[in-house]
């Protein structure tokens, strides 16, 4: 059965994530401890104890989710569970890149700490918000965002999650106005999100510039990888001709095309989708566009052991 590993992005965090798996599995403990050593901070304390306000800071959230996802992944790998395809949502793409071997564990950990810091701090001093738009064609959403933007109100589609859900991002006033217009245009629901930064928009251009300098010193090993990794940028696979440094920098200011990733995995004949890390959002997106998909969420000791039992390992 063809498998794909899916890795969550920012917003999936919850205090206590990974604790029960850490306590049972040595493989998970090694990941948390190794990451803490690289970063000089106690990642497990942040994940297991919070406080929530600290965990929700972008500079902490990204690294905490990354390490938790990688710790669970390490347990699966130790049991012989592998996937031919991997992808993630925003920061989750780094889990996929580390899993594939395109980026080393050490480099991935260091990069995400810097990425989270820049994305959380190098932004214009305005009030921002994001909202998920459900049940409205993305073309109509783009049209409404453009109308507002033409009037100097900054808002753009940031995440194309699946065919029935798109996330818009911008200054708070513009998002609030857009929410009303989107409902009038026929959206089934428009839900404000707890993530408040202008992520995946041009407002993060300074973060992109700073991050480019971090990427200069990184070595990528795409030729050695046997895993196909899907890019958020356009929903295609990474290949040996890609300028990965340019892609990862551009990723910060570009829309996430998870909808295209779902379509590609379906075309590739993926039958089993395994979301690894906190939350259960990505498999929800997959099921919206692929009713036949067999999905799993591995985000706790109970869900991990249930999956392992089903796989007879």
Q: Which of the residues 69, 90, 138, 255 is marked catalytic?
A: 90
| Closest alpha carbon to 112 in 218, 25, 28 | 218
Q: Running DSSP on this structure, what letter comes out for residue 203?
A: G
Q: Determine whether 200 is an active site residue.
A: yes
Q: Is the peptide bond before 51 cis (omega within 30 degrees of 0)?
A: yes
CA 278 – CA 66 distance, rounded (Å): 10
Strand ranges in 180-288 using DSSP code E only, listed in sequence order: 189-192, 228-229, 256-257, 272-276
CA 8 – CA 69 distance, rounded (Å): 8
CA 65 – CA 133 distance, rounded (Å): 24
Rounded to 10 degrees, what is the CA torsion of 297, 298, 303, 305? 140
Asked if 155 contacts 133 with a C-beta cutoff of 8 angstroms, the reply is: no
Q: Which of the residues 200, 225, 254, 255 is marked catalytic?
A: 200
Q: What are phi and psi of 261, to 5 degrees?
A: -65, -40
| Closest alpha carbon to 49 in 60, 38, 40, 62 | 60
Would you state the structure tokens that stand for residue 166, as one six-digit string?
A: 């798109």
User: What string of DSSP letters covers 3-15?
Assistant: EEEEE--TT---T
| Closest alpha carbon to 43 in 53, 29, 58 | 29
Would you state the structure tokens that stand for residue 19, as one six-digit string?
A: 């604790």
CA 313 – CA 311 distance, rounded (Å): 6
Q: Which residues are catalytic?
A: 90, 200
């Amino acid at each position: 059965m063809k498998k794909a590993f899916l890795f969550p992005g920012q917003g999936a965090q919850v205090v206590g994530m990974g604790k029960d798996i850490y306590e049972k599995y040595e493989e998970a403990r090694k990941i948390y401890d190794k990451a803490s050593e690289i970063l000089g901070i106690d990642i497990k304390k942040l994940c297991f104890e919070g406080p929530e306000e600290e965990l929700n800071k972008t500079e902490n959230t990204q690294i905490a989710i990354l390490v938790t996802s990688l710790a669970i992944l390490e347990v699966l790998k130790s049991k012989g569970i592998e996937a031919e395809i991997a992808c993630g949502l925003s920061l989750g793409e780094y889990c996929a890149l580390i899993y594939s071997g395109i980026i080393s564990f050490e480099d991935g950990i260091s990069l995400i700490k810097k990425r989270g810091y820049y994305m959380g701090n190098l932004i214009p001093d305005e009030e921002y918000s994001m909202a998920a738009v459900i049940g409205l064609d993305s073309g109509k959403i783009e049209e409404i965002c453009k109308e507002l933007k033409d009037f100097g109100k900054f808002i753009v589609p940031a995440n194309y999650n699946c065919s029935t859900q798109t996330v818009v991002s911008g200054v708070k006033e513009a998002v609030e106005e857009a929410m009303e217009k989107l409902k009038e245009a026929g959206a089934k629901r428009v839900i404000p999100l707890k993530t408040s930064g202008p992520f995946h928009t041009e407002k993060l251009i300074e973060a992109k510039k700073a991050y480019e300098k971090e990427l200069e010193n990184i070595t990528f090993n795409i030729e050695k990888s046997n895993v196909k990794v899907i890019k958020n940028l356009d929903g295609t696979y990474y290949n040996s001709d890609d300028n990965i440094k340019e892609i990862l920098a551009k990723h910060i200011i570009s829309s996430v095309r998870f909808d295209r990733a779902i379509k590609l995995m379906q075309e590739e004949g993926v039958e089993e989708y395994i979301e690894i890390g906190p939350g259960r959002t990505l498999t929800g997106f997959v099921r919206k566009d692929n009713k036949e998909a067999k999905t799993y969420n591995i985000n706790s000791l109970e869900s991990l052991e249930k999956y392992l039992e089903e796989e007879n390992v």
